[in-house]
Structure 1
């Protein structure tokens, strides 16, 4: 039977830009679990869980925090030249707020200076999570190098590393680099162009403002009634427009789906005369749009229903999905700069990368950018990628779609390898031939799509436990580094622990050792400091050699 998406859900009926995210190359994942929810600590879980905040309430919390930045900076012991800039606020049901800030020093942005202030309902500061523990201070904010020379060097760096073709450096901005070692006056240059596989490039190059030495670099484009190709007949959000309809989801922040028509920029909003979209076949350009719109809707619903978050930034605003990028383009990505997910059509333009887990993976890159914002490089980059895989699995399970059942496989529908195998495996990541099952000292030097395996494996162990089992017809057999047996606590709890850590504790520089501490703390917040859930988190991290 030809997959068909039947949607009648128009609004007449129902009614920054640093990170981006690519799913694949060097790679891209709940609802029902094989594990039962064994906790009896419901009261503790609800007290520390995030509240559902309307856009107006969230705006009010941010505005309130903005009026108190000077007092907060003094309260947490920042220097006279340091100022705080509010980026996000999460409020727990017990009244605790977690306010995420960027930091400036003498008017300059501090990269790696982000922090989260945890404040009790009484107004007392309970703690601060900092990306750097160093004192932010530089001898002078006067640079020895000229910006033009810095830009030229950044273009050269991009060309030499092969990160960017047709490189074009934007004007460098002066910053304080604090993500590694002693804070240093530096320039940040964004080099745009295209990567080798055709993915857009936004390479950030950090250069010492005195010596011209490259301090760091990272890629900001993180590779994340209709008839669908992968999910059968599904509902997608559309809006009545004139005598027809447009693929704008009024029930989900006006999310829009655009046709790039094999181009790389712009895009045309999909319209239709009768509000029935696609045929289930890739030859119909609407089919990929249906899958993309459906995946975006499922992801929106997941974050709202499970975590109380309305939209990627928690502000109730929808993003944009763009399909038919390039020609034979085998990837998908998220970009903050356009607040959009973009999908290629795969080999032969026959396998669009628009399955549920791919869509959720890319949209989650946006959520990560708005919260923990882990740098897309080294161990923090692995955690960034894993977060997208983790919540992609969560969305897929919750969707409970008969033709794309939830699993701990990544990209199993899009046939990237050409042999029917998935892109990644969460129970034993090394089955893909590249990903890491366990942490070691070289983890920070591995491509982020492969070092993500450590956290993916942790999440599987925490959810389902070690050993052999079968879930939704898929067989798994998850090992541990030390041969220990790990008991899972159920995927739903594991999701909530990871989301709590992401939104309340992770920062731009979080590595695996810190992620262990943060998830233990998150589990303690939700289920109690001495709970079985905390012990399970510790056991799962030990199982992947993060001690």
Structure 2
């Protein structure tokens, strides 16, 4: 079976489908170098959340929300000039609203300047009385998943081979993501896929008929100083922990993140790597520690990239490090991030000799956690393509940040793991269609593609914004990026392009952002960072035109 991003993005439910409202506050600055700036008010995470909570009633009033609608804080960003960007989920009559998320933009005094809503219009359903009980809804959801056993939804997804059943009770919610609010149930159904990937499908079903309104696979197919020799990263330094005479692959300087081995199992936290010497791996896949070196280093450099580039402290921006698990299953050709365990997992590939621990895979998968805790882009349609592209973009930028001689930075995704078996990468950002399936340009049908292929539009946009169009060689790799209208695009460099995408993601995008809205979000971000009409602002517009989003 053909795999595209068999290093599948393992994403917890987006903000739209999250099982519980997550709280993640961060500080981003409206300056070309946010990492070097400090929050003007000296506010910390708790203070920002408290600020957003205190502003919720006035923000709701300013937006004209109904008495049954309440705002629940998810994130808060305050710029250097005091401008506030407060991200909320909504409830209606106490029920979570899927598609109710929004961002309120205030001036320094709390006056609402504008807002970005996942869905405009009323959230009121026709009725708040379900015809089905929670048990009936869970049964119907399980049945809907069971009916897909043995069927692969697309060429990138392994067929479901078994269904364990509903995990917990079905929960009443308001489904509003499609603009037609109605009472619904949210149910998680667990199972297993043919390639060994655990399946945890989050279904939203009509509370009256049981009809499936949305199906979301949460698991997609994606202080001593030691030395390590990884399969892909080569010889690197690792921050480890010494206790007595024992060293462990645990990094207290980066939120306590650590690496464990599952030793072929498919569940549990695994066994943390430990030994009496502080030298790890040999560089050969046959040495189990080598993959662990890749994983531990990948987590560390991803942490450093977000910290030093954006001032973000960990995936949730709360200073807590994720952990990594290697040697998952047997012959498992995949890797994934899972919010439910807040962990990164890697298989050993075909014959258990080809671990999927490449650096841009690490950055890609863990960036799904960042998206989940900020914009929460839904993992379907155009927003799903933007979700995948965000991970490709930041995964590539992690690779450029590390700048390793053994894994030379490039705009090729997964070029070293050889999943295709012919030495080709999973995706190409300069001309996505080179993989045979991804879209170079936007069209009215691009949202119907698998998200790993519809992501091509945003990947192409980012490449054009950073590097420009036409033929060029970067770090020894040849690129030739075309544009939809044949016009030349001049790039502004990776650093500024990355700042624009991150600010758009964390300040302006919502769970339902599509390509047209992404264009607006990145233009707003460019205006904030560099000014309206600036070279950077105009380059954003030109790059979107270059991929037929205008």
Partner of 1:227: 229
Determine whether 1:69 maps to 2:71: no
The match for 1:188 is 186
Please list, as runs of the form range in 1=range in 2, the aligned pairs for 1:124-139 lying within 5 A after superposition.
124-139=111-126
Is contact 1:202-1:221 (8 Å) kept? Answer: yes
Give the 3-state SS of the residue equivalent to 2:267 in structure 1: coil
Which residue of the partner structure matches residue 395 of structure 1?
A: 398
Once the 2 structures are TM-superposed, how far is the Cα of residue 63 of structure 1 from its aligned partner?
2.2
1:283 aligned to 2:292? Answer: no
Tell me what 2:267 maps to: 265
Q: Give ranges in structure 2 of 5+ residues lacking alignment.
A: 10-28, 152-158
Q: How does 1:479-498 map to 2 (within 5 A)?
A: 479-498=482-501
2:162 equivalent in structure 1: 166
What is aligned with 1:238? Answer: 240
| Equivalent residue, structure 2, for 1:121 | 108
**CA separation in 1, counterparts of 2:313 and 2:8?**
27
Aligned to 2:25: none
What is the distance in 2 between the residues matched to 1:422 and 1:412? 4
- Provide Cα deviations, 1:470-524, integer angstroms capped at 9, x if missing partner: 0000000011122121111111111000000000011111111111111111111
How big is each residue's C-alpha offset from its partner over 1:212-267, in whole Å with a ceiling of 9 and x where there is no partner? 22211111223331111112110122111232111111110001111111111111
**Aligned pair 1:140/2:136, yes or no?**
no
> Offset at 1:56?
7.8
Alignment of 1:343-382 (within 5 A): 343-382=346-385
From 463, 467, 470, the counterpart of 1:464: 467
The residue aligned with 2:249 is: 247
Residue pair 2:7, 2:334 contacting (<8 A) in 1 also: no
SS of structure 2 residue aligned to 1:236: strand
Corresponding residue to 1:419 among 405, 417, 422: 422
- Poorly superposed stretches of 4+, deviation over 3 Å: 25-28, 43-56, 161-165
TM-score of the superposition, structure 1-length normalised?
A: 0.90
Question: Structure 2 vs 1, CA of residues 460 and 27 (structure 1 numbering), >3 Å: closer, same or farther?
Answer: farther
How many residues matched? Answer: 512
Residues 44 and 246 of structure 1: CA distance in aligned 2, closer, same or farther (over 3 Å): closer
1:37 aligns with none
Partner of 2:307: 304
Partner SS for 2:410: coil
Q: Greater shift after overlay, 155-164 or 46-55?
A: 46-55
Q: Supply the distance in 1 between the matched residues of 2:365 and 2:175 (Cα, whole angstroms).
A: 28
Preserved contact between residue 134 and residue 183 of structure 1 (Cα < 8 Å): no
1:135 positional shift: 1.3
Name which of 76, 101, 112 aligns with 1:89.
76
Q: State the SS of the aligned residue for 1:238.
A: strand
1:336–1:278 distance in 2 versus 1, CA, 3 Å: same
Aligned to 2:5: 24
Contact 2:377 2:513 in 1 (8 A): yes
* Structure 1 residues without counterparts, runs of 5 or longer: 1-21, 29-42
